[in-house]
Structure 1
Amino acid sequence: MASTRQVSDFASRLATSKDSVRPTLISDRVYELLRQAIVEGELAPNDRVVESEIARRLGVSQAPVREAVKQLAREGLLVHVPRRGNFVVEISTEDAEHARQVREPLERLAATMAAERVTDEHLAELEALVAQMRQAVEVNDVGRFRDIDIAFHTRVVQIAANPFLTRMWEVLEPNLRALRAIADPLFEGDWRAMADEHGRLVLLLRDGDGARAADAFADHAAGRAPVPDRRTRRKPAPH
């Protein structure tokens, strides 16, 4: 649970931000406040986020707070526990690394097989997903980027056309999402470059070189892909 200092700091942030919330898009501003509180540790892992309390302190209705909470849940920063409420996610670094270790050989196999089976129609689907990633970056919607990123890798697995591989991915994918082992919402690098990296993966599949595609997908899954880190500051996502 949060320390007294953390609770006091977060309450103080809400109090001082009360007036600035009103003239902006309220859900965007609430999202920004909550996200910053999580990133900076004012809301610690396993802390409960009470929509009614936040709305009361900010002097707004619960609707924009609810929208902000939903967006943070989509990004993997909050989790909803039925009959208990919303809580800041606690991520085990060890669990996340274990998930990546399993993901890497699956992605390698999927890329090898997909490169042999990919069609022009498949490539068009993957290119459309990359275009959607770039659109999500332009409007600073990290949650949308994550959804598309996961859809991209799921589609590559499906193109591989191995039912056992598909089943294994279906088991692993929810854990990758929950553990933020794919498209980490706290990534501070260049999200445009991340989208471009997916474009490069599509080109390798188009070339039909299974070995090169396998190495590239494995490096991508393990976080070894050459994505620049320009430390760009993200804006709040739209609602």
Structure 2
Amino acid sequence: MASTRQANSGFASRLATSKESVRPTLISDRVYELLRQAIVEGDLAPNDRVVESEIARRLGVSQAPVREAVKQLAREGLLVHVPRRGNFVVEISTQDAEYARQVREPLERLAAGLAAERITDDQLRELEDLVEQMHQAVAINDVGRFRDVDIAFHTQVSQIAGNPFLTRMWEVLEPSLRALRAIADPLFEGDWHAMADEHGRLVALLRDGDHAKAAEAFADHAAGRSPVPDRRARKGRTSPR
């Protein structure tokens, strides 16, 4: 209970400091970004109620853009609407994480195998840039940013695969992966720099062009079978919290 109060306090503080920055941009988009960040970073905890009128009052905006933002978050699986009670931050169980992995593993296997056969030098550089962005996110302790880039990495591989049906299936799964917080491993609490390095290894396998090895490695990654060594003792790096 105390941790929930602390999270809510952090969310109220985020609203107060964001009040002025909301106005100059498209309001619904800015409110969406604000709420999504609060959920990903834990200022809004699982099962916390999201009250549109309260958010609008604190931000000094009408309820309409807040309502649009809440609808978008519900479509992405980050909020759930309970009739006559309101909108709540989703709570993801260990079983939910396992269900997502069961679906994700064959998609990742297929995407990597196809991508390894057709990936270009430009696409490889784009993936390498995403890996570097992961390291940059860890350096500033921005786990929300890390997770966004992580999702972008795997989404891009699914697009490189060149199968439109695969891309559509990934788009269906992606909101649930966002709700699971960390796409690489929803329960990962180790060295995030090492997790970024793991993505670098996946890029190297795509570059080698061995579709069987790439497919197996991506499947293992999706299933949480890839060992991620702890680099903190060797390089003095820390994980975002």
Give me the TM-score of the superposition, normalised by structure 2: 0.66
RMSD over aligned Cα atoms: 4.1
Match of 1:3 in 2: none
Match of 1:142 in 2: 143
Q: What SS is found at the alignment partner of 1:175?
A: helix
Deviation string for 1:187-214 (max 9, x for gaps)? Answer: 3101101111111101110011111111
Distance 2:44 2:111 in 1: 38
Deviation string for 1:30-60 (max 9, x for gaps)? Answer: x7xx84894xxxxxx4232669989xxxxxx
Change (3 A) 1:186 1:103: closer
Shift in Å, 1:79: 3.3
Q: Which has the higher contact order (CA 8 A, sep 6+)?
A: 1
Report the more deviating stretch, 96-105 or 184-193: 184-193
State how 1:48-197 maps to structure 2 within 5 Å.
48=49, 62=58, 79=79, 87-180=88-181, 182-183=183-184, 187-197=188-198
Distance 2:240 2:131 in 1: 19
Conserved? CA contact 2:79–2:87, under 8 Å: yes
Identity %: 71
Q: What SS is found at the alignment partner of 1:87?
A: strand
Match of 1:42 in 2: none
Deviation string for 1:144-163 (max 9, x for gaps)? Answer: 11111111111111111111
Match of 1:227 in 2: 228
Q: Give the total of aligned pairs.
A: 204
Q: What SS is found at the alignment partner of 2:79?
A: strand
Unaligned runs of 5+ in 1: 1-5, 39-44, 55-60
Change (3 A) 1:184 1:86: farther
Conserved? CA contact 1:51–1:62, under 8 Å: no
Conserved? CA contact 1:99–1:181, under 8 Å: no
State how 1:25-64 maps to structure 2 within 5 Å.
35=42, 38=45, 45-48=46-49, 62=58
Change (3 A) 1:77 1:139: farther
What is the identity, as a one-letter code, of the residue corresponding to 2:220?
D
Change (3 A) 1:167 1:49: closer
Shift in Å, 1:228: 2.3
Distance 1:122 1:189 in 2: 29
Unaligned runs of 5+ in 2: 19-37, 60-65
